[in-house]
Amino acid sequence: MSNPDSWPQLAYEEHIWESSAHFWGVNAEYTNTGLRYAAAIPPQIASQSISGLNASTLRHAEQATMELIRFDQELGSMIANFAPVLLRSESASSSQIENLSASARAIFSAELGLIKSRNAEMIAANTKAMEAAIDLAEEISSGSILKMHEVLMSSQNIHAPGQWRDEPVWIGTNSHSPHGAEYVAPHSARVPELVDDLVLFLQRQDIPPLVQVALVHAQFEAIHPFTDGNGRTGRALAQSTLRHRGITRNVAMPVSAGLLADIDGYHQALTDYRQGKPEAIIQAFSAASLRAVANTRQLVTEITELRNSWNDRFHARKSSNAWAILDLLMTQPVVTAATAAQHLGVKTPNVYPPLKALVEAGVLQSKNEHKLGLFWRSDEVLQAIDRFAKRAGKRSKS
């Protein structure tokens, strides 16, 4: 009998693969029925003790938690001004773990309807999922997890948005069959009960917050409840859990940007978790949180210094709408006349003169995009965000 204080590892059960596809030639083998494969049975963890965790792991998690809280408190309401940038940075980093990358310019432009990159479009959708995750943080449920996935996947028509899967999913082999896969997630019939159990674990208050975030994420990835988008939804759920436990109150801390520094280690930690060894994923989230704080401090400093430099480079009367646009650019570095006017609460024609003045001062650049009209952008802020991504390990492309 296993130690009741140790974290349980996954069990497995045999299933028979029945393919609904029909292949010919070299793929004909995948039409064979009767292929046997082992699907995981994740343990239920709602009442699982964490007393068997290594003391140093718990101390590291506590250190990272205090650093996250301290960062939030030090900057106070100021950090809330950077919430849109940090949210998009977290979304981009989470997507990069799935090999989806795009420049900051492409991502912010995609949110305004300018789609030049499928990756940017998908990252923009991930940002909406992150927003939904934070909005739903007060009371996390199976329904709120479905909502996160629905928002994430709404722009495609292949995978059912906001629905538990009704078919096998697997990792580490060809797309035709789970036979020989590195990991086959639990049978779809088990998914609703496992997610309900996960939600009960998430609602516990007797577990250190960051430890809980890491374990919730790893258990969610073991369940793999959707046909696609599990990783991005799981990291959105991590943001929701951070907010739910009160670690982050003003912003979505880009923890995924910290995970990017060691993607192989992150994936190995998820494998270790499935083998009943949870320390690695807790350590990964703790280290990622500390990296995220350091990286975010630098980003906030760079953008704040940029804003101060604009005061020296741009001159206008105090009542000019240009000053409000400068504040907007710190967190929304790509705008249209309509979005700028909406933010300022004025009619659209009133923002054209200040936008023109900012272009003439070299603060903004403008480009007429086919069918969508003029877009204005701050290359300086976009470059600061791309530098943040580079420090995190994300390779950017347009």
How far is residue 77's CA from residue 100's CA, in Å, rounded to a whole number? 32
Beta carbons within 8 Å of 393's beta carbon, 6+ residues apart:
96, 257, 260, 261, 263
Could you read off the pLDDT of 374-394 as tens digits, one per residue?
999 999 999 998 888 888 774
Is 228 one of the annotated binding-site residues? yes
Active site residue 224: yes
Is 233 one of the annotated binding-site residues? yes
Is 234 one of the annotated binding-site residues? yes
CA geometry: angle at 294 spanning 289 and 298, to 5°?
140
Tallying the residues shown for the chain, one arrives at: 398
How far is residue 89's CA from residue 252's CA, in Å, rounded to a whole number? 9
Q: Does residue 377 sit in helix, strand or coil?
A: strand
Is 232 one of the annotated binding-site residues? yes
Structural domains in the chain, sorted by start: 53-170+187-297 (1.10.3290.10), 315-387 (1.10.10.10)
Catalytic residue, from 224, 244, 267, 370: name it: 224
Could you read off the pLDDT of 156-174 as tens digits, one per residue?
677 888 999 999 999 876 6
pLDDT tens-digit profile, the chain (398 residues): 344 458 999 999 999 887 665 434 344 444 455 688 899 999 999 999 999 899 999 999 999 999 998 887 776 556 556 666 766 676 677 666 666 677 778 878 887 787 777 777 777 776 777 777 777 778 889 999 998 888 878 776 778 889 999 999 998 766 678 878 889 999 999 999 999 999 999 999 999 999 999 999 999 999 999 998 888 888 888 888 988 898 887 767 778 778 877 888 999 999 999 999 999 999 999 999 999 889 888 988 999 999 999 998 898 888 899 999 999 998 889 999 999 999 999 999 999 999 999 999 999 999 998 778 899 999 999 999 888 888 877 444 43
How far is residue 92's CA from residue 100's CA, in Å, rounded to a whole number? 8
Is 229 one of the annotated binding-site residues? yes
How far is residue 230's CA from residue 162's CA, in Å, rounded to a whole number? 11
CA geometry: angle at 275 spanning 270 and 276, to 5°?
95
Q: In angstroms, how far is CA 240 from the centroid of its own chain?
A: 10
